Amino acid sequence: MKSVLSERHPLHPDHPDQLERRDLPESATRAIRYLAAEIAVTVGATPEIAATLSHPVLLRHIDAKYGRLPDVVHEAMRPPATAAGVAVIGRLPIDEDVLGPTPFNWEEAARWAGERSRRAGSFELDIAMLLLARCAGEPFGWHGQQAGRLVNNILPTPGHEHEQSGASSTALLSPHTEDAFHPERANLLMLGCLRNPDRVATTVSSIRQVELDAAHWDILRAARLPILPDVSYGDDFGDRTAPPIPTVGADTDGPTLRFDPAYTPLDRADDEFRCAYQHLTSELHRVSRAVALAPGELLLVDNDSVVHGRVPFAPRYDGSDRWLKRVNIRLPQRRRAAAEADEDGYGQRVVAPFSTTRGQRP
C-alpha cells in the first residue's frame, strides 16, 4: 500500500512557541554518561547481554540506579507539555572516536555492541537510553522487531531504501503512529541521535493542532478500517483477523490518533471515509514541523497524539550515515479505550521487563 502523502512535502522550520526545548546542564549529561559507563563496565558488553539488552543482570542495574540521576534529568523526561506533543532534550556528549562507523543494518549494530573493541561506544549509549527511558516510564521492545531488543537502531540499510520503515532513506517516511496496529503500542517514543551529518529532519504533527469539521471528526471516530503491521515485523499477516479500528479517539487531555496511511487499506473505504481521512492527512501536513536532531539530542514524542516521519535523504553507506536509537516507553498511568483490549495485535508480543513497582525514586 502506498502512502497518501505526496513526496513534495514542504516543511515548516522549528517554532519555539510550539516545540519544547529542554536543555540539560553539562553536569547532568555527564552524570548520565558516567552512570551508563559504570553499568557497562560492571555488567560487561558481552554478546549475550548486548543482543537484546534484556538480560536480568543489566535490568537490575538499570532499575536500581536510574533514580540516582539528578532531579533535572527526571524533570526533562516528563511527557511533552504542549499541544505539539514533542520535546527536544539536549544534549548528551557523543564521542565520534569511540562511536565507530554507522553499521549497515540493525543486526550489525546489535552485534557490534557486544564486541569488546566497541563496548565504549554504542553499548554505553544503549544503557544511557534505557536509563533516560526508565526515568520517563517503562521501556519495552517487541519480540517480532529487531529480535526483541529494548533499544532499536535506526539507520539506512541497503536494499530497504524505498520501504515504509526506519531502514529506508530515499523514500519519504510517511507520518505515522508508532506501531499503530497494536493495542500495546508505546505512549512515548524516544529517539536519540548519534550521527546526522546531513541534518536529515524528523517530521512531527499533532492531532491536537488540527482543525476538522464535526462531520469528519465523527467519521474518523468510527471503526472503519484496520491498520496492518509494518514490514519490520515481516509480511505473514494475510490470514490473520484484521479488525477495523477508530482513527481518532480521546483521553482526558484531548483527541488521540492511530494513523499509518502506508499500512491502512484505504482502497476498501467508502468515499465518505476517504474524504475525512484525506482532510485529516492535509491538516497533519499543515501543522507539521521538522526537527533535525544533532548528535546527542533526544526527541521525545507523545505517540498517543503525535505522528512522526522523516524526509527523504541519499544514503552514503560509508560509515558516516544518519544513526538514531529508538526506545518505546509505556506510561502505566495512562489508560486507552476499553475496546482495544479485544485486539490481538496480529500476534505480536511485547518484551516488557520493567515494572514501576520496582526501583522507585525515594
Contact 233, 142 (CB under 8 A): yes
Local confidence band at 7 (pLDDT 50, 70, 90 cut-offs): very low
Q: Which residues contact 290 (CB under 8 A, 6 or more apart)?
A: 11, 12, 13, 14, 201, 202, 203, 311
Task: Write down the pLDDT at residue 115.
Answer: 79
* Residue 361 in this model has a pLDDT that exceeds 50: no
Enter the pTM of the model: 0.92
Task: Write down the pLDDT at residue 232.
Answer: 86
Report how far residue 144's alpha carbon sits from residue 86's, in angstroms, rounded to the nearest whole number. Answer: 27
Task: Write down the pLDDT at residue 231.
Answer: 87
Question: Which residues are bridge partners to 141 per DSSP?
Answer: 351
What would the pLDDT profile of 84-95 be if each residue is shown by its tens digit? 999 999 999 998
Which residue type does 251 have? D
What would the pLDDT profile of 96-122 be if each residue is shown by its tens digit? 888 889 999 999 999 888 876 654 578
* Residue 338 in this model has a pLDDT that exceeds 70: yes
Q: Which of 201-205, 233-237, 342-346 has the lowest mean pLDDT?
A: 233-237
Task: Write down the pLDDT at residue 356.
Answer: 58
Local confidence band at 242 (pLDDT 50, 70, 90 cut-offs): confident
What would the pLDDT profile of 17-55 be if each residue is shown by its tens digit? 468 999 999 999 999 999 999 999 999 888 899 989 999
Short-list 214, 234, 53, CA closest to 148: 53
Task: Write down the pLDDT at residue 24.
Answer: 97
Which residue type does 217 have? W
Task: Write down the pLDDT at residue 5.
Answer: 35
Question: Which residues are bridge partners to 256 per DSSP?
Answer: 249
* Residue ranges of domains in the chain, CATH in brackets: 20-351 (3.60.130.10)
